[in-house]
Chain A
Amino acid sequence: EAQVTQNPRYLITVTGKKLTVTCSQNMNHEYMSWYRQDPGLGLRQIYYSMNVEVTDKGDVPEGYKVSRKEKRNFPLILESPSPNQTSLYFCASSWTGLLNTEAFFGQGTRLTVV
């Protein structure tokens, strides 16, 4: 079954404690991206990756890091989380970054930073 898998689904952490949210896709997609979703602000893109070892900033990259060492995995790293990073996070993948193919989304990670 085609899917994007994020882990964990829920996470509560303390300010400053490094964390990683994993994302894996089984469709051999080249394009992967991370979004955060906040009430009233919709989905905002954090980082995206066109292919292995190729990443670029989205609209809200501050405080986040990503890596793309393998095609299937695109982890999101918060080196020093802060309360304003409390949000619902989604990973997505698609064949290309041209919006001419559908994107598949993970089920989301609800992060709370206290």
Chain B
Amino acid sequence: SQQGEEDPQALSIQEGENATMNCSYKTSINNLQWYRQNSGRGLVHLILIRSNEREKHSGRLRVTLDTSKKSSSLLITASRAADTASYFCATDSPLSGTYKYIFGTGTRLKVLA
């Protein structure tokens, strides 16, 4: 079952522009995380946001969470070529009573120099 769905599937921008990607999920959550994956490599944790938080910042990253719409967004400001990667959201599934992490299908970001 797919809990998180990222949108858009792919995004291409110029260096210096901002990149926004969205994640929607189906059932209530306790926590949501964003990860980055460089081509074919392991995922790297970016930021964690809890269900009682609305916004978090980390460097050039800004994450928002709207639990009423069951969605989150990741904004990367002043993008760099090194930001080229795939970005995934991950959610938990407290209603299922299990300890599964559910990842979306990801957004492929390409930053052109």
A residues contacting B by CB (< 8 A) are 4, 31, 33, 35, 40-45, 48, 50, 56, 58-59, 88, 90, 92, 97-108, 110
Contact = CB atoms under 8 A, between A and B. Distances in A.
Given A99-B92, A100-B50, A48 B99 contact: yes
Contact of A108 (B32, B40, B105): B40
A35 B103 contact: yes
Nearest to B9: A40
Looking at chain A's contact residues, the main secondary structure is: strand
A31 B99 contact: yes
Given A42-B103, A88-B40, 15 more contacts: A40-B105, A42-B88, A42-B106, A45-B101, A48-B99, A90-B43, A97-B101, A98-B92, A99-B92, A102-B33, A102-B48, A103-B35, A103-B43, A103-B101, A105-B44
Contacts of B102: 45, 59
Interface in B43-68: 43-45, 48, 50
A58 B102 CA distance: 10
Contact of B105 (A41, A99, A110): A41
Given A42-B88, A99-B31, A90 B100 contact: no
13 contacts: A42-B2, A42-B104, A45-B100, A56-B98, A58-B100, A59-B1, A90-B42, A98-B92, A99-B32, A100-B48, A103-B33, A105-B42, A107-B42
Contact of B41 (A59, A99, A108): A108
A34 to B, nearest CB: 11
Nearest to B44: A105
Contacts of A108: 40-42
B98 A98 contact: no
Given A98-B30, A100-B30, A107 B41 contact: yes
B91 interface: yes
B74 interface: no
Contacts of B90: 99, 103
